[in-house]
Structure 1
């Protein structure tokens, strides 16, 4: 299911710098060639063996396509009038301590860009959340994949905006782990079977259990007479 009208747009008025999150470019990054290695459901081997016995002499051409809809989408960036754009910055960081303060939340929302139940074999979903305070903003674009009894994958893009400094930091973190290994870790945390089932439906409960496979930080300073950041849906 594609929610084509859903989007989140961050726009810096003085420089016209824009960072937008929409479904189409996210889906465009899904592997259409099979070059990254296609995932299979846990019963695929047994199913294939049975099919080979009952379909002798039948040949089938399969077009490779990542049916898990995995994407590395980090948002669509439009540079500012002065050429401002995100650049890799290994020294930049998102100030978690400031985000943990109990500052009043002026605006908060969440939109789903697309999702699939993978033919009842799990879930694949891309969402965007935004939280705006008086002095800062945080955006989380999260891709969550749970392929039952096979794999769990979380790809997070966090965008931090400091209104006073007119600075944007974008952090991308990809995590991935085997379904069985994640299940063992949940047992070690003391969860009961029914609690584990619920945990597998919530990326927040299992993301920290997954090994990091990719991490990158970028930043940009937006220069203008006044800093105004607007959010849209």
Structure 2
């Protein structure tokens, strides 16, 4: 008897115009086990395997009328995962071996890779945007001011339960206010009894500006060194501020052309 095949739902796309910016948010189903999209991922990525749940068609794209912008997608995020070594076995060596001695990833690794799928992905720029280091910071006080939310979206790019040994996920959020837009790309990874990590990328654009501020931070700690309740440890939004900062990077994404200078 033939099995009933559940048809895949069509992608849901939302669009919003913010001044010269066209914002497009697309959400769709999890990457299937076969098909052209799966083949594309396997051909492009050098990873022996991909996360259990990859939302290949979940994309946030911000395109300026000048033909440049930034996009967030799962494929480019996974390109940043270490495909030839297992950095966690170095970073957590002894505690990792003791805590997860029966884990299949230790016993059955044929080709070592970062099976936690840790990524420092900061988005994909396109067009003639120039990336410059900057001392300027996102004004968090401005973001705290009450403003009408004109557009909002929140979606996953990928997620994996690490063979029931923890969690790894990449989430993207955007909110648009009358004065600005703000994007938070957050990678969260927890290996039970071993380590927890949060990589945050924040992008902020103020209306009529000729650049976007981008701030990246990577934080992690071994779990044995953290004295926090389990509900905080497993909450990607609460645990980050409690972790040790390992890396920070501040960039300015400068737009091309004289026409994109802020108005006086």
Fold match (TM-score > 0.5): yes
2:99 is the counterpart of 1:43: yes
Question: 2:40 is matched with which residue?
Answer: none
Q: Is the alpha carbon distance of 1:42 and 1:27 closer, same or farther for their aligned partners in structure 2, counting shifts above 3 Å?
A: farther
Question: 1:75 is matched with which residue?
Answer: 123
How many residue pairs end up in the alignment? 201
Kept after mapping to 2: 8 A contact 1:41/1:150: no
Question: 1:93 is matched with which residue?
Answer: 137
Which deviates more, 166-175 or 215-224?
A: 215-224
Any stretches of 5+ residues in structure 1 without a counterpart? 53-59, 187-195, 228-233
Q: Matched residue of 2:130: which SS?
A: coil
Q: Matched residue of 1:118: which SS?
A: coil
> Following superposition of structure 1 onto structure 2, how do residues 169-180 of structure 1 map, counting pairs within 5 Å?
169-180=213-224
Could you tell me how far apart the structure 2 residues matched to 1:179 and 1:41 are?
14
**Residues 41-90 of structure 1 deviation map (CA, whole Å, 9 limit, x = unaligned):** 75334x49xx99xxxxxxx872101110111111111133xxx322111x
Shift of 1:28: 1.3
2:177 is the counterpart of 1:161: no
Question: 1:8 is matched with which residue?
Answer: 60
Q: Matched residue of 1:206: which SS?
A: helix
2:113 is the counterpart of 1:65: yes
Q: Is the alpha carbon distance of 1:220 and 1:166 closer, same or farther for their aligned partners in structure 2, counting shifts above 3 Å?
A: same
Any stretches of 5+ residues in structure 2 without a counterpart? 1-52
Q: Is the alpha carbon distance of 1:159 and 1:7 closer, same or farther for their aligned partners in structure 2, counting shifts above 3 Å?
A: same
Could you tell me how far apart the structure 2 residues matched to 1:41 and 1:10 are?
43
Cα RMSD after superposing both structures: 2.3
Q: Is the alpha carbon distance of 1:123 and 1:135 closer, same or farther for their aligned partners in structure 2, counting shifts above 3 Å?
A: same
Kept after mapping to 2: 8 A contact 1:41/1:148: no
Q: Matched residue of 1:204: which SS?
A: helix
**Residues 175-213 of structure 1 deviation map (CA, whole Å, 9 limit, x = unaligned):** 01111222x1x2xxxxxxxxx232222122111110110
> Out of 193, 196, 199, which is 2:232 matched to?
199
Which deviates more, 32-41 or 208-217?
A: 32-41
TM-score (norm 1): 0.79
Question: 2:29 is matched with which residue?
Answer: none
TM-score (norm 2): 0.70
Q: Matched residue of 2:224: which SS?
A: helix
Shift of 1:18: 1.4
Q: Is the alpha carbon distance of 1:198 and 1:42 closer, same or farther for their aligned partners in structure 2, counting shifts above 3 Å?
A: farther
Shift of 1:163: 1.5
Question: 1:124 is matched with which residue?
Answer: 168
**Residues 122-178 of structure 1 deviation map (CA, whole Å, 9 limit, x = unaligned):** 110001000110111110111000111100000001011112223201111000111
